[in-house]
């Protein structure tokens, strides 16, 4: 049994001793909740970065905490985490894939030179998290300046799935518990209701409630903290009304103490710091990240933290990121007034209707595709497919099934690894067409967290620290390079395009194939090697966009993978009315590719049974270089206590931030100036 399931079972059984929850349900509700959580385990992510604001060209160092969505333990099931840097227009600037290691999910994202200043967003997810819509994990950062988040404002009808204007649920938080009552606004309302209370799907109460009979939940009987869902059910266990309440977050926290031992100042003018959690239980350990940042760079007011993210943002639909102040009751009440908890449809779970996610958990990297005949596009059964990685000296062979499909599992190689695929018939003939399944990454279509831009910042603060005693000052090294000439939008075609990628864009994105570029264009999808523009339908059905290379159209079956990215100078996408300059053939949209030489010949493309490609491999963690902005960055510390050494000059000038979780799923958060 996974660790998170053992904790969940323990928590539910503990509640049984304090409430009459199962005296009325004969453990049926318990078994159904456990079955749902086990059938469809959900996850949450939180990104801890080495700073809150950056400049173009700098590197973002990050650690992603991946935890179970119910008990917040790190015993998650996914092997990979994806992190994307989104610009203010929600377009992906960079994407990395992190592999679980001894340090957790640690990596970095390089901010391209020349990006515009503004608020950017780090979006993190696993493939398993894509099963659930309306729940996103975002982390705001500011490039070229500073800013702060403001609480989101929601309309009263945004998230409420089921409204019943004839009855209200009244939630009153008392000193020693919670009082729940109902108010009938219509004489025609029935008076036979059930109250179901849960926190992150953990049931806390299930029983009758009426106008004459309120329900009191004792503080001592409630072991969970965060967003509570109070659901009013009718006799058929259908949800009539729901209210959310953010209560008792302290029950989920693991307080830590930071002690500065000035009397133990070492000879090298460093002060020891002892980090300890006195409330750790037997066998419980901490897994935290630590950063020391210059206190004058960013103000912690208006920033999100791990507490607000795990307990609030990730438990409320359509709430990507809120400032840490949302944990205050005055802030949370207004934000939760018209919202719902939808990770599981608990009214269905109570009835025994448990569901499973459609997208499987990603436990290994997979390369998939299919092989078909050149004439008639019929699947090739029992075909032979070779996968070769020349730079990794890797070679493996598989066969196609009756549908011509093939797959290679367990392909774990770092980013930049090049692969070569060859396909043949059972008889060894090469007259086949090889099609590779493209990796799909969902675009972000939700709202961005509101913010206020507070100040501009044009000072580069990533200079290295002052040279310590005994250090060696190296001579200045001048590096020269030839800047490439970047294409402009001076010709008629590119000026009328709806979306364009110039050479500078292609280089900064680091795209390895044209499909990777095109997926960044809104309303453009790539399926089975063909590009489709949303709305591209005719009487005969859906048709792909036309492909033009150096102004010459190629046939509909042309494979864009035949064009090497090193030969591409510009890619223009034409949608809607802008396609008129291409004539009737461009009615379904046009993808125009301009090569550097301008004389690309379709006849010189590689064989149809061979593909050379590069997938999004996992990122190899890089060593951190201390700088004046963040002189210390420790992405992974594990244990019951820690002893760190800080230079004495850090006192009152730098700030210490510690965030993480314990092995029992309790949240660790600390912010304070060094030496205080």
Question: Would you call 174 exposed, middle or buried from its count of C-beta atoms within 10 A (0-12, 13-18, 19+)?
Answer: exposed
What are 3-34's pLDDT values in tens digits? 555 565 555 554 554 455 545 454 688 888 88
Q: Average the pLDDT over 200-216 and give the result.
A: 89
**188 and 270, same domain (yes or no):** no
The answer to whether residue 647 scores a pLDDT higher than 90 is no
Does residue 380 lie in a domain region? yes
pLDDT for 273-297, tens place per residue?
899 999 999 999 999 999 999 887 6
**3-state secondary structure at position 132:** coil
Q: What is the CATH number of the domain that holds 556?
A: 2.170.130.10
Q: Following DSSP, what letter does each residue of 14-59 receive, concatenated?
A: HHHTTS-TTTTTTTHHHHHHHHHHHHS--EEEEEEES-SEE-TT-E
152-194 pLDDT tens trace: 865 443 444 444 557 888 999 988 899 999 887 565 556 688 8
| Boundary of a domain, candidates 116, 149, 182 | 149
Given 123, 149, 175, which residue is the final one in a domain? 149
Task: Mark whether 564 and 652 lie in a shared domain.
Answer: no
Residue 551 in any domain: the answer is: yes
Question: What's the number of domains the chain is made of?
Answer: 5
Q: Is the pLDDT at 132 greater than 60, yes or no?
A: yes
Q: 658 or 443, which is more confident?
A: 658
Q: Which of 658, 634, 664 is nearest to 67 (CA)?
A: 664
CA atoms within 13 A on the CB side of 447: 14
- C-alpha to C-alpha distance for 411 and 297, rounded to whole angstroms: 42
Query: Does 306 reside within a domain?
Result: no
386 shares its domain with 243: no
CATH number of the structural domain spanning residue 70: 2.60.40.1930
Q: Do 142 and 177 have their domain in common?
A: no
The answer to the question of residue 484 being in a domain is: no
Positions of E strands within 415-554: 418-424, 432-436, 451-456, 499-501, 524-527, 530-533, 537-538, 541-542, 546-549, 552-553
Cα separation, 289 vs 354, in Å, equals 36
pTM for the model: 0.80
* Domain end position, chosen among 396, 413, 436: 436
Indicate whether 572 and 503 sit together in one domain: yes
Same domain, 245 and 231: yes
Q: Are residues 239 and 262 in the same domain?
A: no
Whether 362 contacts 80, CB under 8 Å: yes
Instruction: Indicate if the pLDDT at residue 497 is higher than 90.
Output: no
How much is the average pLDDT of 225-249? 91
Pick the residue with more confidence: 330 or 104? 104
pLDDT higher than threshold 60 for residue 493: no
Q: Average the pLDDT over 474-491 and give the result.
A: 47
- How far apart are alpha carbons 221 and 18 in whole angstroms? 5
Domain that holds residue 373: 366-436
Average pLDDT over residues 649-673: 91
Percent residues over pLDDT 70 in the chain = 81
Both 53 and 64 in one domain: the answer is: yes
518 and 601, same domain (yes or no): yes
Does 102 lie in the same domain as 51? yes
pLDDT over 50 at 487, yes or no = no
Is position 661 within any domain? yes
3 state DSSP class of 272: strand
Query: How large is the average pLDDT for residues 429-458?
Result: 87
Pair (287, 141) in one structural domain: no
How many residues are given for the chain? 676
Share of the chain above pLDDT 90, in %: 38
Q: Please check whether residue 533 lies inside any domain of the structure.
A: yes
Establish how many alpha carbons lie within 13 A of residue 335's alpha carbon, considering only the half-sphere containing its beta carbon.
Answer: 27
Residue 344 lies in a domain: yes
pLDDT of residue 541 exceeding 80: no
CA–CA dist 318, 327 (Å, integer): 17
Q: Is the pLDDT of residue 432 over 70?
A: yes
**Domain presence at residue 215:** yes
Does the pLDDT of residue 473 top 60, yes or no? no
Whether 590 and 511 map to the same domain: the answer is: yes
């Amino acid at each position: 049994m996974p660790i998170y399931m053992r904790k969940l079972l323990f928590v539910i059984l503990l509640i049984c001793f304090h409430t009459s929850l199962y005296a009325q349900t004969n453990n049926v509700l318990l078994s159904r909740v456990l079955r749902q959580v086990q059938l469809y385990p959900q996850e949450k992510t939180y990104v801890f970065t080495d700073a809150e604001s950056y400049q173009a060209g700098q590197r973002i160092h990050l650690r992603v905490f991946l935890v179970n969505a119910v008990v917040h333990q790190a015993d998650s099931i996914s092997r990979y985490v994806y992190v994307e840097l989104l610009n203010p227009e929600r377009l992906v600037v960079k994407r990395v894939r992190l592999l679980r290691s001894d340090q957790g999910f640690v990596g970095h994202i390089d901010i391209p030179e020349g990006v515009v200043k503004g608020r950017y967003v780090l979006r993190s997810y696993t493939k398993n998290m894509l099963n659930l819509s309306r729940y996103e994990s975002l982390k705001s950062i500011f490039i070229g300046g500073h800013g702060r988040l403001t609480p989101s404002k929601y309309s009263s009808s945004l998230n409420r799935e089921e409204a019943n204007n004839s009855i209200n649920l009244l939630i009153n938080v008392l000193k020693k518990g919670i009082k729940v009552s109902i108010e009938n606004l219509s004489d025609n309302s029935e008076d036979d209701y059930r109250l179901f209370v849960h926190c992150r799907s953990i049931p806390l109460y299930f029983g009758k409630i009426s106008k004459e009979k309120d329900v009191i939940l004792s503080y001592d009987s409630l072991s969970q903290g965060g967003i509570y869902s109070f659901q009013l059910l009718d006799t058929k266990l259908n949800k009539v009304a729901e209210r959310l309440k953010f209560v008792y977050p302290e029950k989920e926290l693991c307080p830590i103490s930071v002690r500065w031992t000035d009397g133990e100042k070492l000879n090298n003018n460093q002060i020891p710091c002892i980090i300890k959690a006195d409330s750790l239980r037997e066998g419980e350990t901490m897994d935290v990240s630590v950063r020391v940042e210059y206190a004058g760079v960013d103000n912690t007011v208006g920033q999100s933290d791990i507490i607000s993210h795990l307990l609030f943002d990730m438990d409320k639909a359509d709430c990507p990121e809120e400032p840490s102040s949302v944990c205050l009751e005055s802030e949370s009440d207004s934000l939760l007034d018209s919202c719902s908890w939808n990770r599981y449809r608990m009214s269905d779970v109570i009835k025994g209707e448990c569901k499973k996610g459609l997208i499987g958990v990603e436990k290994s990297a997979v390369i998939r595709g299919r092989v078909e005949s050149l004439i008639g596009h019929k699947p090739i059964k029992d075909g032979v497919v070779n996968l070769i990685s020349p730079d990794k000296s890797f070679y493996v062979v598989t066969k196609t099934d009756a549908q011509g499909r093939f797959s290679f599992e367990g392909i774990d190689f770092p980013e930049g690894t090049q692969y070569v695929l060859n396909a043949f018939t059972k008889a060894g003939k090469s007259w086949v067409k090889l099609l590779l399944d493209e990796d799909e990454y969902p675009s972000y279509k939700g709202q961005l967290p509101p913010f206020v831009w507070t100040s501009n910042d044009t000072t580069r603060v990533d200079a290295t620290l002052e040279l310590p005693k005994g250090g060696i000052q190296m001579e200045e090294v001048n590096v020269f390079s030839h800047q490439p000439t970047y294409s402009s939008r001076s010709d008629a075609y590119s000026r009328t395009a709806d979306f364009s990628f110039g050479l500078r864009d292609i280089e900064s994105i680091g795209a390895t194939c044209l499909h990777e570029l095109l997926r960044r264009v809104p309303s453009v999808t790539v399926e089975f090697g063909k590009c489709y523009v949303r709305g591209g339908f005719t009487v005969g059905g859906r048709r792909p966009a036309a492909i033009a290379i150096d102004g010459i159209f190629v046939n509909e079956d042309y494979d864009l993978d035949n064009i090497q990215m090193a030969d591409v100078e510009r890619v223009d996408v034409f949608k809607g009315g802008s396609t008129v300059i291409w004539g009737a053939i461009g009615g379904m949209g046009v993808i125009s590719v301009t090569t550097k030489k301008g004389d690309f010949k379709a006849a010189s493309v590689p064989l149809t049974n061979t593909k050379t490609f590069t997938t999004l491999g996992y990122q190899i963690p890089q060593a951190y270089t201390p700088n004046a902005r963040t002189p210390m960055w420790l992405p992974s510390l594990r244990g019951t206590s820690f002893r760190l050494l800080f230079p004495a000059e850090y006192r009152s000038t730098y700030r210490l931030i510690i965030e993480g979780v314990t092995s029992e799923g309790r949240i660790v958060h600390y912010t304070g100036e060094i030496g205080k």
